[in-house]
A and B are shown apart, each in its own frame.
Chain A
Amino acid sequence: MEEAENLTLIEKAKSGDEEAFNDLFGREQKYLFNLMLQLTGDVADADDLTQEAFIKAYRNLASFRLQASFRTWLTRIAINIFRNELRKRARHSSLCLEEIMIPADGDRPERVVIKSELQWCILHNLRHHLPKKYREVLVLRDLQNLSYKEISGILGWSLSRTKTNLYRARQMFRRRFVNEGCKAFTDDYLCICEGILSL
């Protein structure tokens, strides 16, 4: 969509135009849900946080000053909601499935689920094996294709800090994912889940 058209839509939505609001928010639903899913690694959490982000965006729409794109603004709201949620849950951190010992005998259904697929492995590694700041920058750059400048604005980092953290995030993810790897999807490597759970 042309930026000018987008700006018109935002102005209309700000003044209460229902159709403009529906257009504006409608086109960002899939983006925002996927962003939350990649950050949280959990469909139910992503669903809750996406709703929260949309409601907050609606409530604050009047204060949107058009200095950034609507998506960048929405992403900043989403990241803040995600961070708040992590803080709330700090005392109840979820357990990495690799730490759960599952007996090796039989075709237990949980083993089949765990073995499932690359999608799970990526989300699992993002959720359990990357610190928050690295997860955020990796998701925004490599999964959502935002520019360095946009990411700097959203995360409140300088451009140089953004580049450094992105490099570290990629290295950490690579060490975790590739070095120990996922045999089912990259021929050269052994899958962490398969290795530990001996499926």
Chain B
Amino acid sequence: MNCREAKAFFSEHLDGTLSAKSRAAMIKHLESCPDCRVDYEGLMKIQKVLKKLKEVDSPRDYRIAVSKKKKGKR
């Protein structure tokens, strides 16, 4: 497997959707390619950073706005 082929598998591997065969080939490539390893680790870090984005509560009950529309329709 070359670098281009390995990179094509990075996202799917991170998402856990890569087949066992492709996964094994990708990992083998990473073991022998420092550049791809850095690239892959960077993507892993980004996923960790994105997971730190906290969900916030919605500022209001949007059903009220919808209810007003419903009443307006009647």
Q: Quick check: B62 and A51 within 8 Å, CB to CB?
A: yes
The secondary-structure label for the interface of chain A is helix
Q: Which residue of A lies closest to B7 (CB)?
A: A167
Residues of A within 8 A of B56 (CB): 33-34, 37
Chain-B contact segment, one of A3-11, A83-91, A106-114, A172-180:
A172-180
- Give Cα A50–Cα B10 distance, bound, in whole angstroms: 33
Shortest Cβ distance from A171 into B: residue: B43
Q: How large is the interface on B (under 10, 10 to 19, 20 to 34, 35 or more residues)?
A: 20 to 34
The size of the chain A interface, using a CB distance under 8 A, is 41
Q: Are B61 and A34 in contact (CB under 8 A)?
A: no
- List of A residues within 8 angstroms of B43 by Cβ: 170-171, 174
B57–A30 contact, CB under 8 A?
Answer: yes
Asked if A55 and B65 sit within 8 Å, CB to CB, the answer is: yes
Q: How far is the CA of A54 from the CA of B63 in the complex (A)?
A: 8
Q: Which 5 A-B pairs have the closest CB atoms?
A: A33-B58, A167-B11, A54-B62, A174-B46, A58-B66
